[in-house]
Amino acid sequence: MVCQEIIDILQEQSPEECACDWDNVGLLVGSPQKEVKTIYVALDATDEAVAEAVEAGADLLLTHHPMIFRGIRNVSGSDFIGRRVIALIQHDISYYAMHTNFDVRGMAQLAAQKLGLLECEVLDVTCGGEPEEGIGRTGLLPREMTLAECADLVKEAFGVDLVKVFGPLEQKVRKVSVCPGSGKSVIGKAIAAGAQALVTGDIGHHEGIDAVAQGLAVIDAGHYGVEKLFIPYMGDYLRRRAEGVKVIEQPERAPFSYR
């Protein structure tokens, strides 16, 4: 299959038109006519991911977060973005990113399913139409539970060892919002939706305590912790849809450690 055929398959899952205006998604490096026999799937196009794609003999690197986000004025080996672009071009690897378009059409519903949320509604509508689409979901847990029990559910659902919890652990929760990635911007949306807890990542001290002051508990499972599900999901999707193409998933590896 050529790269454009793979892109068409990816667009069926998460159309580029669903991405937020500020985002940078799509084919960021390479030719749409490149023959693709092997795809390497990762969350980020880090130096390690690029090197692993090269070692795997990949023809296409697929990530969630775009490596090229803001405008760049030159491509040289003097900075880390240029270094990665050069490596991809030297090894004839095309590079495609599906970020907020996958958040809207994929990630949000997957996260809600992981938590077993019922009667889900879109948390932050970013795409009109029928049905409405957008970032995050709000729904009901299968049963009322304490915030501590909900935190344990989050750890099990997303396969993380630790979560940061803002709010009293004995608090009862049933209605929950989930926003994979960084959820600072949807705290107000979750409060407006009547959620008792928000499951997300990248919550700082002030955002957390201010949310609790407004009646919203927060369970921070980490940006990587909640979004790493992109890798196995897209690996499985491509194996089913891109017949004859080898798909390799980056092993789970958090970009940080606790000491």
Co-location of 18 and 93 in the same domain: yes
Co-location of 214 and 117 in the same domain: yes
Co-location of 212 and 241 in the same domain: no
Asked if the structure places residue 164 within a domain, the reply is yes
Residue 128 above 80 pLDDT? no
Alpha carbon distance 137, 142 (integer Å): 15
- Residues sharing a CB contact under 8 Å with residue 205, sequence separation 6 or more, in sequence order: none
- pLDDT, tens digit, for every residue of 135-160? 999 999 999 999 999 999 999 999 99
Average pLDDT, the chain: 96
Instruction: Name residue 146's amino acid.
Output: T
pTM confidence score: 0.96
Asked if the structure places residue 192 within a domain, the reply is yes
Q: Based on the structure, what is the number of domains in the chain?
A: 2
Asked if the structure places residue 256 within a domain, the reply is no
Residue 114 above 80 pLDDT? yes
The fraction of the chain above a pLDDT of 90, given in percent, is: 93
pLDDT of 72: 85
Q: Which domain holds residue 44?
A: 3-99+228-249
Co-location of 94 and 210 in the same domain: no
Residue 129 above 80 pLDDT? no
Co-location of 180 and 131 in the same domain: yes
- pLDDT, tens digit, for every residue of 18-75? 999 999 999 999 999 999 999 999 999 999 999 999 999 999 999 999 999 988 888 9
Co-location of 196 and 208 in the same domain: yes
* 127: confidence class by pLDDT, cuts 50, 70, 90: confident
Co-location of 22 and 37 in the same domain: yes
Co-location of 20 and 60 in the same domain: yes
pLDDT of 39: 98
Q: What is the CATH number of the domain that holds 217?
A: 3.40.1390.30
Co-location of 149 and 67 in the same domain: no
Residue 176 above 90 pLDDT? yes
- pLDDT, tens digit, for every residue of 180-239? 999 999 999 999 999 999 999 999 999 999 999 999 999 999 999 999 999 999 999 999
Asked if the structure places residue 201 within a domain, the reply is yes
